[in-house]
Amino acid sequence: MFEGLSQRTNKNHLKNSIITFLAISSLCFLAYFVSSDNSFKTPVDFQYNLELEEFRSFISKYSKDYKTEEEFYHRLRIFRDNLSYIRVFNSQGQTWYMGINQFSDLTHEEFNLAHKNKIIVPELPISDTTEKLAHPNLKMKRKWDWRQEGCVTQVLNEGNCDAPWAYTAVDAIASQYCVSGHNLVQLSVQEVIDCSGSYGNNGCNGGTITNVYKFAMKNGLTTEEIYPNTGKQGVCKTAKEKETIATISKYANVTPNNATALESVILQTPVSVTVEAIGAGWQNYKGGVISSNCGTSLDWAVLAIGYNLDNSPPYYICKNSWGDDWGEAGYVRVSIVDGAGTCGIQMSPSYPIF
């Protein structure tokens, strides 16, 4: 009897010892992972590390330079907020989608502040409001793209000198020069930024498209090769300014708030258009057709180089000046609707004439 009791006691002791050993081993095993570089991570930790690596790739790709550790983590927080916004927006089934670009470390407020009030939209004189290129026998096409005709210059990047009024007007002149039978050439935006102050423009701080046209009527434009871009406003180089190749004879404004009128002129030449581009839609735009999330407070300018009426929704093709990594290789599609148009694109279109 006592022998059986002793055996059961020994077995229970052995069992308890094994359980104790396994418990201590498990705690040690867990402690090792918690303290090691390969420590156990929660889903939140993994998400943070993935976004941190994406942020580091972003810094390298766009040559970002944060001066302090505090600034680094401040921009990281903004970057992660923008990533979250982009994910939510892209899950909603819109006609366009968002993605990472050079503006992804800016808050929406910072982006808006950096790009607003860079263009002044003058009142359109009634005498100038006409499609002077319109041909009575013009046969409209359902879609058109001036890139396929070889009359659109390469996408440029304004960098820190926001002068959309200069870029779109110079691009329009270069395209009209080509449409008129000349070889396509990159004309100098820098010349306009440096030299058109007496026409009412203010370099990197704002200007008007029509003032560029007036400057080009009087002085003509030289090439980018002769007068290269510096990314900032400088003193006018009058010697280079005199080497002109493209002088326009006049300019015209398309009938405002009229999609058919704008389409008919785009079919004949690229057109400078003004839009409201502040806000997350343009800041994070990656592709597709912008059809909402903007108003009609015109603050930016792009070049309308084509359209497609067969798509749903129909759209304009516009060339921006934020580099070819923004949007669709530097381009944005904007939906065609009646009236002022999406983002106000039909409110103030204009174009040069040789």
Read off the pLDDT band of 55 (50, 70, 90): very high
Q: What is the model's pLDDT at position 135?
A: 55
Give burial (CB, 10 Å; 0-12/13-18/19+) of 242: exposed
Closest CA to 278 of 259, 258, 302, 300: 300
Residue 349 CA to residue 117 CA, distance in Å, equals: 18
Out of 5-14, 156-165, 172-181, 344-353, least confident range: 5-14
pLDDT for residue 342 is more than 50: yes
> In whole angstroms, how large is the CA radius of gyration of the chain?
30
Identify the pLDDT of residue 52. Answer: 93
Which of 134-148, 216-230, 306-320 has the weakest average pLDDT?
134-148
Give the separation between CA 55 and CA 76, rounded to whole angstroms.
7
For 140-155, write each residue's pLDDT tens digit: 899 999 999 999 999 9
What confidence tens digit (pLDDT) does each residue in 94-104 have? Answer: 999 999 999 99
pLDDT at site 18: 53
25 pLDDT tier (thresholds 50, 70, 90): low
Position with higher pLDDT, 19 vs 237: 237
- Cα 138 to Cα 172, 173, 253, 267, distances in angstroms: 21, 22, 19, 9
User: Is pLDDT of 70 > 60?
Assistant: yes
pLDDT digits (tens, 9 = 90+) for 234-283: 999 988 877 899 999 999 999 999 999 999 999 999 999 999 998 789 99
The pLDDT score that the predictor gives to residue 13 is 54
Strand locations in 63-114 (E): 96-98
- Amino acid identity, position 268: Q
Confidence (pLDDT) at 38: 46
The answer to whether the peptide bond before residue 256 is cis (omega within 30 degrees of 0) is no
300 in Cβ contact with 275 (< 8 Å): yes
pLDDT > 90? residue 187? yes
Domain-wise residue ranges, the chain:
43-93, 108-353
Architecture per CATH, domain 108-353, reads as Alpha-Beta Complex (3.90)
Cα within 13 Å of Cα(252), Cβ side: 17
**Beta carbons of 49 and 41 less than 8 angstroms apart:** yes
Among residues of the chain, what percentage have pLDDT more than 90?
A: 72
Residues 6+ apart with CB under 8 A from 179: 146, 149, 151, 268, 269, 270
Q: Band of the pLDDT at 54, cuts 50, 70, 90?
A: very high
What is the share, in percent, of the chain residues with pLDDT greater than 70? 81
What does the chain come to in residues? 354
Q: What is the pLDDT of residue 26?
A: 53
Question: Is the pLDDT confidence value at 159 over 70?
Answer: yes
Q: Which two tokens stand for residue 152?
A: 């659109």
Q: What pLDDT does 48 receive?
A: 85
pLDDT for the residue numbered 160: 87
Q: Residue 185: name the closest of 225, 239, 242, 213 by CA.
A: 225
The answer to whether 175 touches 152, Cβ cutoff 8 Å, is yes
The pLDDT of residue 67 is above 50: yes
What is the structure's pLDDT at 16? 55
Per-residue DSSP letter, 228: -
How far is the C-alpha of 293 from the C-alpha of 276, rounded, in Å?
Answer: 10
Three-class secondary structure of residue 330 per DSSP: coil
The yes-or-no verdict on residue 315 having pLDDT over 90 is yes
CB proximity list for 286: less than 8 A, separation 6 or greater: 96, 97, 98, 99, 101, 327, 328
Exposed, middle or buried by CB within 10 Å (0-12, 13-18, 19+), for 26?
exposed
